[in-house]
Structure 1
Amino acid sequence: MAGIFRKIKKKVARLGLDPEWDVVIRPRTGWFDINLREVWRYRDLAKLYVYRDFTVTYKQTILGPLWWLIQPLFTSGVYSIIFGGIAGIPTDGVPPLLFYVSGVVFWGYFSSCLSDTSNTFLANSGVFGKVYFPRLVVPLAAVFSDLFKFSIQFVLFLLVYFIFFLRGVPVQPNLCILLLPLLVAHMAVMGMGLGIIASSLTTKYRDLSFFMSYIIQLLMYATPIIYPFSMIPAKWRVIALLNPMVPVMEIFRYAFFGIGNFDARMVVWSICFTLVVIFLGVVVFSRVEKNFMDTI
């Protein structure tokens, strides 16, 4: 490849043109041959992808982004009736609607990051096969698109929260609320890491693309979203804590409601899991992007 570049530069020099290139695209061979600086150079492309996701998703809809508010409200209402009313699942003293809104909004961001990034190669194979740019731009853009949606839904949660707070419901917010940006970043990184690993495996094993929706649903039931962590029997709690999303949800509810567990060991495990997952995800993703067009 280097010899080809030299020949081209010599021919260009004979024509009296500038032989220096603005960008030189070289093949990557090593597992850890990752250029994150190049991803930063294409940040404008990521912004365009975010804008595209926003406009395409709600094009030709009447309510548009209002669906971001309708969905968590409707889902939380159904959960309140079925799980809170019919099944009688406790919510540790928190009003059922408020309890379920918090779970739906917070879990929704993680599941969106995971599902949207897990389809990166299959959904964008047409573009990837025609033009070069760092492929990590696409899952990063998906994470920021979902962050915009989460911001709107979080405002909805705050509105419901303050309504109940002003009505005298005994919720006990504390200084752990300051950890909210870290919790959101934690979910984004974890969801993206798991998603790009799934996307890399999907290029060869297409069955995984059909199985992802079931995996996300199973993860939701394994996380205290529709039930409090205190409801899990003591003998199963150690196994439940292996789910790295459990500490995130527990800290979130502890910060806003004063309920739940805030165990440092849980937090350390979740952070370590996330760091390992995002590292493996970026490495595997960068490795697969070199020849995925041959297998997709």
Structure 2
Amino acid sequence: MENYDLIIRPKRHAFDINFRELWQYRDLLYMFVKRDVITVYKQTILGPIWFVVQPILTTAIYILVFGNIAKISTDGVPGTLFYLAGIVLWNYFAESFNTTSKTFKDNADIFGKVYFPRLIMPLAKVTAGLIKFGIQFAFFMAVYAYYLISGEATIQPNIYILLLPLLILLMAMFGLGAGLIFTSLTTKYRDLTFLLQFGVQLLMYATPVIYPLSTIPDGKMKTLIMANPITPLMESFKYAFLGAGQFSWTSLAYSVAFAVVLLTAGMVVFHKTERNFIDTV
């Protein structure tokens, strides 16, 4: 009997996910992450500086429109810090969701030619997004340190800053889980791709990114916003660094449970779709 280095077996059911195989292909994951980062920087003059320019311009627009014109409260926090805090965390989720939602469509050629665990590709997108997040978060911390040292504003950092790794992990899980479900659906329903940008933008307005939760009066609207599992993460982040916002262990536990269910569902749907998606893409 011949000895083979690799034996490819058909997946028996939707829950037949080989996590050990994902670990064996960790070098490929690293290569895809490196490729994605280099592709972003390639043929640009400013390189990674663009990752800082984007939140600066977005913050300036939010200050003008929502701060000066709409006069929306920022809970006593300087508008620059308040909007940056929301933008930095939200951008990581949106980036993860947008990039993973195109997995099957953008990689149909390579998926049809060579075998490797398909889940490696969306995992690489989410991991590469951490680099962009890291640059934007470093910029946020520089602005944060300025206000903290100068004393120009009342900022009350607290022990909940230690929850930052958990908040980032949960954002990655939300982006990955939602992206896996979306890319699986678009193999049959291409019309969904036209709703992606609109849907993400709509979800942002349903999340306290540009406004504090305290400005929403009690009622159906606040209930709907609180039902958004990303809301506790955004509020926890602002509360930890700025001392503004609301923090609740119950709400955070709700987000954790929702993220686990969403990611599990996403992986199952993705795994089921990958077996025959090449026939429909």
- TM over 0.5, shorter chain: yes
Question: 1:16 — aligned with what?
Answer: none
Structure 1, unpaired ranges of 5+: 1-8, 10-18
SS at match of 1:55: helix
Match of 1:256 among 230, 233, 241: 241
Match of 1:199 among 183, 193, 215: 183
Question: 2:227 — aligned with what?
Answer: 242
Deviation at 1:87, TM superposition (A): 1.1
- Equivalenced residues, count: 279
Matches within 5 A, 1:76-115: 76-115=59-98
SS at match of 1:234: coil
Question: 2:269 — aligned with what?
Answer: 284
- What is the letter of the counterpart of residue 166 of structure 2? L
CA distance in 2, matches of 1:110, 1:190: 7
Matches within 5 A, 1:264-283: 264-283=249-268
Match of 2:25 among 42, 51, 67: 42
Q: Runs (4+) of structure 1 moved beyond 3 Å?
A: none
TM-score, reference length from structure 2: 0.97
1:32 equivalent in alignment to 2:21? no
Match of 1:62 among 45, 56, 61: 45
- Percent of residue pairs bearing the same amino acid type: 51
Deviation at 1:29, TM superposition (A): 2.5
Deviation digits for residues 220-251 of structure 1 (CA, Å, limit 9, x no counterpart): 00001111111111112222111011000010
Deviation at 1:58, TM superposition (A): 2.2
CA distance in 2, matches of 1:83, 1:31: 46
CA distance in 2, matches of 1:64, 1:265: 41
SS at match of 2:157: coil
CA distance in 1, matches of 2:255, 2:15: 24
Deviation at 1:163, TM superposition (A): 0.8
Deviation digits for residues 148-200 of structure 1 (CA, Å, limit 9, x no counterpart): 11011100000011111122111000000000001000100111001100011
Deviation at 1:82, TM superposition (A): 1.2
TM-score, reference length from structure 1: 0.93
Larger Rg: 1
Match of 2:210 among 223, 226, 231: 226
CA RMSD of aligned residues (A): 0.9
CA distance in 1, matches of 2:65, 2:149: 26
Question: 1:5 — aligned with what?
Answer: none
CA distance in 1, matches of 2:203, 2:106: 23
Structure 2, unpaired ranges of 5+: none
- What is the letter of the counterpart of residue 177 of structure 1? I
SS at match of 1:148: helix
Match of 2:162 among 164, 167, 178: 178
